[in-house]
Structure 1
Amino acid sequence: MKKTVLFTFLVFLLSVSIYAQSNTSNVAIGDVFVIGEANDNYNHINFPKANFIIKKGGIVSYKNIVGEKVEVTSVKEDKDGQLIATIKLASKKKFFNSHKYVTVVVDKAIETKELVKI
């Protein structure tokens, strides 16, 4: 009896862990996206604040980044289960002439059309 209960418990744990590791997003390193136009501001692309851009000698203008191609350099999953990707400009330039990399919440940015897959 104890062995049957123990075996059932182990099978349950294995099945739960298999479903917990499944990832529905198909974003991989090297994928190319285009930065879309945001309604008010970019909520899911984590651009630096204006004062940090200015301190590094950059120009704060979101109009210059609309339509730019970006490439995914790394993908991680945070503690909430959201995919966080690090992106860089495909042209090898810097965002706002000051930052080489920017992070983005992939699923929400695609959903709100801040990022558009090519």
Structure 2
Amino acid sequence: MAQAHASGEQGHSIGLYLGTWILLFVLSACSYVVDYVHLQGILRWSLILLFMVLKAGLIMAVFMHMAWEHLALVCAIVIPPLMVLVFVGIMAIESDYTLLMRQVSFAGGG
């Protein structure tokens, strides 16, 4: 990398981008295989979400050049969406509890 800066070249090697494209293709193929083998339930959705997050992280790291940024910038961009996911999970758990309480309450109040 230091040699590229010394000679005036900018950017990264084409091999990095080709490798990234190949890895994205493999992850997409794995996501397709999950549907092809007819997995159902929590396993299916867990695998689909895992492949989706891996592809998004790879795109952010290489094509948005986050792998070469300062830690403060990475944290400023990555942590807020992660916190949103945590809060959505908390709300989903709370909604299940609220639904259960309403069913119990309204069933007895007939």
Greater percentage in helix: 2
Q: Which has the larger radius of gyration?
A: 2
The answer to whether the superposition gives a TM-score over 0.5 is: no
Higher relative contact order (CA 8 A, sep 6+): 1
TM-score (norm 2): 0.23
TM-score (norm 1): 0.22
